[in-house]
Amino acid sequence: HNQLPEEVILPAADYELPGPNSFKTFPWGSKPGILKRNDDGSLTAFVAVCTHLDCNVTYLPEQRKFYCACHDGWYDENGINIAGPPPRPLRRLDVIVEGEKIIIRRKGESA
């Protein structure tokens, strides 16, 4: 039974992602999230939990892939499952930048 939030608000100063493909983890309730800067400067956020058996995934910027060490699961930089047992893409979150805040919000789907 894990409580995951509707949204989290991060201070932008703590999450400056200087270059393309840079990333930082953030707390998404009891789970980790990953905030990543794309080549076009936009930000994407994912729940960093494997869709196979809920292990935590890490982002490997050199390879531009997300990796789950539990059962050798791989996702591309857009969170799409590409190898190993994961049955679905990583869960994406909406990112809204408002001045000094980065708001990360559940996508418009029922919980």
Asked whether residue 77 is assigned to any structural domain, the reply reads yes
Rounded mean pLDDT for each run of 10 residues along the chain, 111 residues in total: 83 94 96 96 97 98 98 98 98 96 84 42
Give the chain's domain count.
1
CATH number of the domain enclosing 52:
2.102.10.10
Is residue 19 in some structural domain?
yes
Concatenated DSSP letters for 21-88? Answer: T-EEEEEETTEEEEEEE-TTS-EEEEE-B-TTT--B-EEETTTTEEEETTTTEEEETTS-EEESS--S
Task: Please tell me the predicted confidence (pLDDT) of residue 109.
Answer: 57
Asked whether residue 37 is assigned to any structural domain, the reply reads: yes
With respect to residue 44, please indicate whether it lies within any of the assigned structural domains: yes
Residue 13: give the domain boundaries. Answer: 7-105
Dihedral sign, Cα of residue 110, residue 45, residue 30, residue 90: positive
Structural domain contains residue 74: yes
Is 1 inside any structural domain?
A: no
Residue 81 inside a domain? The answer is: yes
For residue 4, what pLDDT is reported? 82
